[in-house]
Amino acid sequence: MPAAAVLSSEVLAKYEPVIGLEVHVQLLTATKAFCGCANHFGSEPNTNICPVCLGLPGALPVLNAKAVEFATLAALAINCEIRERSIFARKNYFYPDLPKGYQISQYDKPIAENGWIDVPTADGTIKRIGVTRLHMEEDAGKSLHDGFADSATRTYLDLNRCGTPLIEIVSEPDIRTPDEAFEYLTRLKEILLYTGVSDCNMEEGSLRCDANVSVRLKGAERFGTKAEVKNVNSFRFVRAALEYEIERQVEVIESGGHVMQESRLWNAAEGRTYSMRSKEQAHDYRYFPEPDLPPLIVTAEFLAAAKSKLPELPEARRARIIADYELTPQDAATLTASREFADRFEVAAKGARSPRRMANVLLSEVGGRLKALGLEQENSPVSMDGIVLAADLLDEGKISSKQMKQLMDVCFEKGENFPAVYEREKPQQITDSSAIEAMVDQVIAANPKQVEQYRGGKKTLAAFFVGQVMKASKGQANPALLNEQVTKKLEG
């Protein structure tokens, strides 16, 4: 296969990509989907296993109610309809890491269908991506191909993962660009993290994505034949794999060929996809209803209980935070990056004299310093309470913003929290209004041009005079008195 780079952008522009994503998510239940074994990543191999998850003859599955609750929460969070009566099915295939010889999944009657996720697009609008279905299933074990002395000739099996509860979320083929796919995945992960049903840790395999993609001539009605890129382990790689795959398919078509319906593997090191042997992909899963499990009934009570556990979701929370604290969308996005952080911020902000000022100290003073140092919020020397104190002192005019910045500098230099530094340094403040008045007079006398402009209507120059006096006072002028004097003198 020649490199795809020979395609001109004009040729590519004749085609429209069509993308649909299948995302597998491990649920954070204490135990597995159908047995009482621990659902835990990183245990010694083959220690969290029992006759049920190994599929020994006669062992019977019992559905984990927590897994149903989590699946329901996730489904509600992505706007799905919950089916009152859903059916588990056996998906049969042979693979060494699947000792039962089948996976318990759901087929034509999944627990949830017809949802959607809103994603931002390149032109600033919001696009609604349909979610076809969300179904419950169990994970398989793991084949260990590397890391043993005899890995060249043997493959080892770790069956701890067998029976781990999963949800699979299948999107409609509504996605049109690799960037949209990236956004969809980012939003989906964020929503799932907010609901708390999964840690979505891609390195540990708690979230896995298969990307389906086809291309068609723009304006064509029918979809082209799709290829499925399997098991891409980061969202960036999904985007890169889709970009590669789109070019590859266009090239196949442009050179008179046909895209094959197949599964392909992404090779991150080479930045390309490879066809998986098609024979092994020609599965007939022989789905049939799982005879050992009754239909899953989601009662009205169960559904109501799940709804009541649904947290405020990221999009809604951002909108509310923008309104409540008069912040920019960018600031709101920073504050809601995780539910835990947003919670800590909001609890603290409620205790501040001015929640908006508190948010600003958090974002620009503390956030700015953390960013410059490459630190995360949880490693900040200044706690939320420290930020509240700083904001309150500013609000009461007990310190100037310059003094606050100096105190924050000390906090970050010495790794100390704000209250301790403030108590020790207790910055001086000039509260003698005649002293401040004298300084204001001086600055006004030294800047006749700005005075003229101010009096000619450029009122924003007040800040310039305040700044000059503040500088002259080494940041010690009481801000309220200073503002008062500046206005009085300029207006007078």
Say whether residue 358 binds ligand ADP (CB under 6 A).
Answer: no
Distance CA 488, CA 492 (A): 6
**Binding segment toward ligand ADP, per CB under 6 A, in 115-123, 153-161, 170-178, 329-337:** 170-178
Closest-approach residue to ligand ADP (CB):
20
CB of 125 to ligand ADP, least distance (A): 21
Say whether residue 179 binds ligand ADP (CB under 6 A).
Answer: no
Location of structure tokens 């007079």: 441
Helices 479-491 + 448-455 axis angle, to 10:
80
Location of structure tokens 């084949």: 143
Say whether residue 159 binds Zn ion (CB under 5 A).
Answer: no
**Binding segment toward ligand ADP, per CB under 6 A, in 15-23, 231-239, 272-280, 471-479:** 15-23
Say whether residue 214 binds ligand ADP (CB under 6 A).
Answer: yes
**Binding segment toward Zn ion, per CB under 5 A, in 52-60, 141-149, 176-184, 232-240:** 52-60
**Binding segment toward ligand ADP, per CB under 6 A, in 20-28, 147-155, 369-377, 476-484:** 20-28
187, 117 Cβ separation under 8 angstroms: yes
- The pair phi, psi for residue 379, each rounded to 5°, is -100, 15
Location of structure tokens 């420290």: 386
83 vs 369, beta carbon nearer ligand ADP: 83
CB of 178 to ligand ADP, least distance (A): 13
Say whether residue 250 binds ligand ADP (CB under 6 A).
Answer: no
- Residue 443 binding target from Zn ion, ligand ADP, none, CB below 5 to 8 Å by type: none
Number of other residues whose CB lies within 10 A of the CB of residue 197: 26
Among residues 35, 82, 387, 407, the one that binds Zn ion under rule CB under 5 A: 35
Say whether residue 53 binds Zn ion (CB under 5 A).
Answer: yes
Say whether residue 148 binds ligand ADP (CB under 6 A).
Answer: no
Distance CA 63, CA 135 (A): 14
Distance CA 26, CA 199 (A): 8
| Number of residues that make up the chain | 492
Say whether residue 352 binds ligand ADP (CB under 6 A).
Answer: no
Distance CA 26, CA 382 (A): 35
Say whether residue 67 binds Zn ion (CB under 5 A).
Answer: no
DSSP 369-435: HHHHHT--GGG-SS-HHHHHHHHHHHHTTSS-HHHHHHHHHHHHHHT--HHHHHHHH----B--HHH
Distance CA 293, CA 63 (A): 8
Which residues fall within 8 angstroms of residue 448, CB to CB, at 6 or more apart?
Answer: none
Among residues 213, 252, 469, 470, the one that binds ligand ADP under rule CB under 6 A: 213
**Binding segment toward ligand ADP, per CB under 6 A, in 32-40, 168-176, 264-272, 472-480:** 168-176
- Residue 37 binding target from Zn ion, ligand ADP, none, CB below 5 to 8 Å by type: Zn ion
The contact set with ligand ADP (CB under 6 A) reads 18-22, 170-173, 212-214, 223, 226
**Would you tell me which residues interact with Zn ion (CB under 5 A)?**
35, 37, 50, 52-53
